[in-house]
């Protein structure tokens, strides 16, 4: 069974194609729940409600976490409350954004 830390590490390969930072450092992951049967529920948001790549991000997250030992299935749920804001980013995410010329 993977730990929450392992799930979050696996999610670091998932990026919003419009922003060159992974979903963990962007602060988009709101929760991870791992059931004894290997079901991993991920609650996350996106930077905007109308994000055109929602399905791509969901598929990438499911694939990344599904590769972990002990995972039987992955469910990604998008939520919009609380809304995302730059204050949710990790310090590393903010540093990455500045490297790419974003003013954070």
Distance separating alpha carbons of residues 34 and 90, to the nearest angstrom: 23
Residue 15 lies in a domain: yes
pLDDT digits (tens, 9 = 90+) for 36-91: 999 999 999 999 888 899 999 999 999 999 999 999 999 999 999 999 999 999 99
Identify the domain containing residue 74 by its residue range.
Answer: 4-82
Residue 101, pLDDT score: 85
Q: How many residues does the chain have?
A: 104
Q: How far is CA 46 from the centre of its chain?
A: 9
The pLDDT assigned to 50 comes to: 86
Residue 8 lies in a domain: yes
Phi, psi of 95 (to 5 degrees): -65, -45
Task: Flag whether 11 is in a domain.
Answer: yes
Cβ proximity of 62 and 31 under 8 Å: no
| Domain containing residue 57: CATH number | 3.30.300.130
pTM of the model: 0.93
pLDDT of 103:
85
Residue 44 domain-assigned (yes or no)? yes
Q: Is pLDDT above 90 for 16?
A: no
Q: Is residue 48 part of a domain?
A: yes
**Within a domain: 93:** no
Residue 27, token pair as written in the block: 């602060």
Closest CA to 51 of 90, 70, 79: 79
What pLDDT was estimated at residue 7?
98
**Domain assignment present for 91:** no
Read off the pLDDT of residues 24-34 as tens digits, 9 standing for 90 and up: 999 999 999 99
| Number of domains the chain is built from | 1
State the average pLDDT over residues 12-34. 94
More confident residue, 24 or 17: 24
Query: Is 89 part of any domain?
Result: no
């Amino acid at each position: 069974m993977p730990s929450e830390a392992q799930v979050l590490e696996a999610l670091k390969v998932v990026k919003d194609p419009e922003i060159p930072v992974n979903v963990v450092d962007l602060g988009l992951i709101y929760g991870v729940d791992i059931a004894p049967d290997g079901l991993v529920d991920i609650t996350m948001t996106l930077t905007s409600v109308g994000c055109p790549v929602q399905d791509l991000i969901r598929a990438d997250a499911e694939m990344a976490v599904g590769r972990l030992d002990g995972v039987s299935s992955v469910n990604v749920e998008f939520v919009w409350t609380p809304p995302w804001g730059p204050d949710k980013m990790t310090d590393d995410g903010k540093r990455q954004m500045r490297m790419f010329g974003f003013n954070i």
